[in-house]
């Protein structure tokens, strides 16, 4: 029941978002609106039918559907963000639909809603009156309840903090790469200009504070592996490129290349990609073609002007390995390109630390680094690997650690000073009385009066044994 309500709730928020956007473009009589009105109607009427009433309410940053908190899906993120911003701007906190809605009613409602003046405290009343003037009495509207200390926040939504910006870029990029892949699968033209814009935004953020996007790579989404993986590889690559002193232009190229590195997989059958067992020889041969197929796709992009040889080669050689023992096999033994070497490290690390259908329990960040260090020089560029370790730390981001105080924490951010690779910022794992995860950060370089460290890491722990969902702490 709850899962069903949550699914419908996500659907409702998405439809609401789309309808608001469309109605800001067209006037209320425009036929372009009909389809969206009908889709939204279908969703709300299903909900009203099943529950007798439909209340959509916003408290702080969360939406509640008939008092059940809605958790957003990856696809839903943009809609949730958009809708909560729009509601908060208009100081609307709750809408209750008490009876089934009709097309005309919905049309009046949505236009009355979007035409509310921002920041006006009487909006809930004004909206109700407007609806009554159209003989609509079955919709109740309540003002936004401002939780103490939040007054300012409601008005300064424009100045979203870095974390919000990070989340937005992250989820939007996942959505966009999904779109690109879907288009390529359907032999349609894919537009990569949007990817470029997102890469540029990500670069701004990485330059200001790389830990935000690096933290997002902990959101390992099992069902959306391909998309999450491309975005994660891009984040790691950009953070490495930043440390290598790349210009913004080169960083943009690197970001796009990393986003597209596995694009060739869109031409490989699903059964092979998601096969829960070892691949047969033929299947493996097919799989090994993805870098080359990627090159073909990239060269056929409509916006070929956005692509240069450096990027094409990066897609081509990301599995070549440092000693050229990987694939594709080369006739001319030339070294692996810089983009290829960077992406290869990011790619291996992300793949190893993500649960997959054939390996449900992945390596912990620490184990993954250990494997990579063992294979270094043969498989990876040792210098770049060193940079990568500097980036994720000795205790990589997302590691679950036991402290000498017997507390458990999650490595949240590596220390800026390389001297403190073993003393990162740690998020203590704890819950408040309501069972919600608390967010207390401690800095392991902190000392007490006598000059002794307040906390030290004793060892890393396996999050699967402790049933801790690391990703939750990074959102
Ligand atoms: Fe690949
Ligand atoms: Fe990959």
- DSSP letter string, 121-188: TTHHHHHHHHHHHTT--SEEEEEPP--TT-HHHHH-TTS--HHHHHHHHHHHHHHHHHHHHHHHHTT-
Task: Give mean pLDDT, residues 385-396.
Answer: 85
Task: Give mean pLDDT, residues 405-422.
Answer: 80
Nearest ligand to the C-alpha atom of residue 265:
1
- Tell me, in angstroms, the distance from the centre of ligand 1 to residue 255's CA: 15
**Cα separation values, 243 from 210, 240, 386, Å:** 11, 5, 11
Residue 312 in this model has a pLDDT that exceeds 70: yes
- Tell me, in angstroms, the distance from the centre of ligand 1 to residue 199's CA: 19
Nearest ligand to the C-alpha atom of residue 356:
2
Q: Which two tokens stand for residue 166?
A: 């990070």
Q: Which two tokens stand for residue 423?
A: 């003393």
Q: What is the per-residue pLDDT across 203-215, written as a single tens digit (0 to 9) for each?
A: 998 888 788 888 8
- Tell me, in angstroms, the distance from the centre of ligand 1 to residue 336's CA: 14
Q: Which two tokens stand for residue 358?
A: 């054939």
Task: Give mean pLDDT, residues 410-431.
Answer: 80
Q: What is the per-residue pLDDT across 178-202, written as a single tens digit (0 to 9) for each?
A: 999 999 988 888 888 999 999 999 9
- Tell me, in angstroms, the distance from the centre of ligand 1 to residue 246's CA: 23
- Tell me, in angstroms, the distance from the centre of ligand 1 to residue 281's CA: 18
Cα 235 vs. chain centroid, distance in angstroms?
11
Task: List the single range of 2-16, 85-99, 221-235, 424-438 with lowest mean pLDDT.
Answer: 424-438
Beta bridge partners of 413: 425
- Tell me, in angstroms, the distance from the centre of ligand 2 to residue 229's CA: 7
- Tell me, in angstroms, the distance from the centre of ligand 1 to residue 290's CA: 7
Nearest ligand to the C-alpha atom of residue 315:
1
Nearest ligand to the C-alpha atom of residue 354:
2
Residue 1 in this model has a pLDDT that exceeds 80: no
Q: What is the per-residue pLDDT across 206-247, written as a single tens digit (0 to 9) for each?
A: 888 788 888 888 877 666 788 899 999 999 999 999 999 999
Nearest ligand to the C-alpha atom of residue 268:
1
Residue 146 in this model has a pLDDT that exceeds 60: yes
Q: Across all residues in the chain, what is the average pLDDT? A: 86
DSSP secondary structure letters along 191-207: --HHHHHHHHHHHHHHH
Residue 236 pLDDT: 96
Residue 147 pLDDT: 63
- Tell me, in angstroms, the distance from the centre of ligand 2 to residue 218's CA: 16
Residue 73 pLDDT: 67
Nearest ligand to the C-alpha atom of residue 294:
1
Nearest ligand to the C-alpha atom of residue 346:
2
Q: For the chain, report the end-to-end CA distance as a whole number of angstroms.
A: 26
- Tell me, in angstroms, the distance from the centre of ligand 1 to residue 385's CA: 18
Q: Which residue has the tokens 């390596």?
A: 363
Task: List the single range of 26-35, 102-111, 403-412, 460-469 with lowest mean pLDDT.
Answer: 460-469
Residue 158 in this model has a pLDDT that exceeds 50: no
- Tell me, in angstroms, the distance from the centre of ligand 1 to residue 387's CA: 21
Confidence of residue 16 (pLDDT cuts 50, 70, 90): very high
What is the Cα–Cα distance from 43 to 35, expressed in whole angstroms?
13
**Cα separation values, 403 from 383, 411, 440, 441, 454, Å:** 31, 11, 14, 13, 10
Q: What is the per-residue pLDDT across 113-130, written as a single tens digit (0 to 9) for each?
A: 999 988 888 999 999 999
- Tell me, in angstroms, the distance from the centre of ligand 2 to residue 85's CA: 35
- Tell me, in angstroms, the distance from the centre of ligand 1 to residue 294's CA: 9
């Amino acid at each position: 029941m709850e899962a069903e309500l949550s699914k419908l709730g996500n659907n409702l928020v998405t439809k609401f978002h789309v309808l608001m956007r469309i109605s800001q473009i067209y006037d209320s009589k425009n036929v372009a609106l009909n389809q969206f009105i009908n889709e939204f109607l279908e969703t709300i009427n299903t909900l009203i039918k099943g529950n007798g009433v439909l209340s959509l309410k916003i408290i702080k940053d969360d939406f509640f559907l008939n008092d059940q908190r809605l958790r957003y899906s990856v696809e839903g993120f943009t809609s949730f963000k958009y809708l909560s911003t729009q509601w908060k701007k208009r100081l609307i906190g709750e809408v209750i639909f008490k009876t089934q809605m009709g097309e005309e009613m919905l049309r009046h409602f949505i236009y009355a809603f979007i035409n509310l003046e921002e920041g006006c405290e009487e909006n809930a009343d004004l909206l109700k009156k407007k609806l009554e003037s159209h003989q609509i009495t079955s919709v109740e509207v309540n003002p936004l309840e401002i939780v103490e200390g939040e007054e300012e926040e409601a008005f300064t939504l424009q100045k979203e903090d870095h974390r919000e910006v990070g989340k937005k870029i992250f989820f939007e990029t996942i959505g966009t790469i999904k779109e690109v892949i879907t288009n390529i699968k359907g032999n349609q033209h894919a537009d990569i200009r949007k990817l470029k814009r997102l890469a540029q935004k990500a670069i701004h953020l990485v330059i200001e504070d790389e830990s935000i996007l690096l933290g997002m790579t902990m959101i390992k989404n099992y069902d959306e592996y391909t998309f999450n993986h491309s975005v994660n590889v891009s984040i790691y690559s950009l953070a490495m490129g930043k440390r290598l002193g790349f210009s913004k232009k080169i960083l943009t190229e690197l970001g796009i290349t990393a986003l597209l590195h596995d694009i060739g997989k869109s031409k490989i059958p699903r059964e092979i990609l998601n096969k829960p067992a070892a691949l047969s020889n033929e299947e493996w041969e097919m799989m090994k073609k993805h870098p080359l197929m990627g090159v073909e796709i990239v060269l056929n992009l409509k916006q070929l002007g956005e692509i240069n040889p450096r990027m094409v080669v990066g897609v081509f050689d990301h599995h070549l390995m440092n000693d050229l023992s990987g694939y594709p096999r080369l006739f001319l033994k030339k070294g692996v390109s810089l983009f290829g070497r960077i992406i290869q490290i990011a790619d291996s690390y992300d793949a190893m630390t993500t649960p997959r259908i054939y390996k449900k329990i992945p390596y912990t960040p620490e184990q993954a680094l250990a494997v990579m260090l063992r294979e270094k020089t043969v498989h990876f560029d040792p210098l770049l690997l060193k940079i990568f370790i500097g980036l994720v730390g000795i205790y990589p981001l997302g590691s679950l650690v036991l402290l000498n105080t017997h507390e458990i924490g999650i490595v949240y951010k590596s220390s800026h000073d390389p001297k403190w690779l073993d003393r990162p910022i740690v998020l203590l794992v704890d819950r408040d009385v309501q069972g919600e995860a608390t967010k207390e950060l401690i800095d392991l370089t902190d000392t007490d009066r006598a000059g002794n460290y307040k906390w030290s890491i004793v060892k890393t722990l396996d999050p699967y044994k402790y049933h801790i969902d690391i990703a939750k702490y990074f959102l």
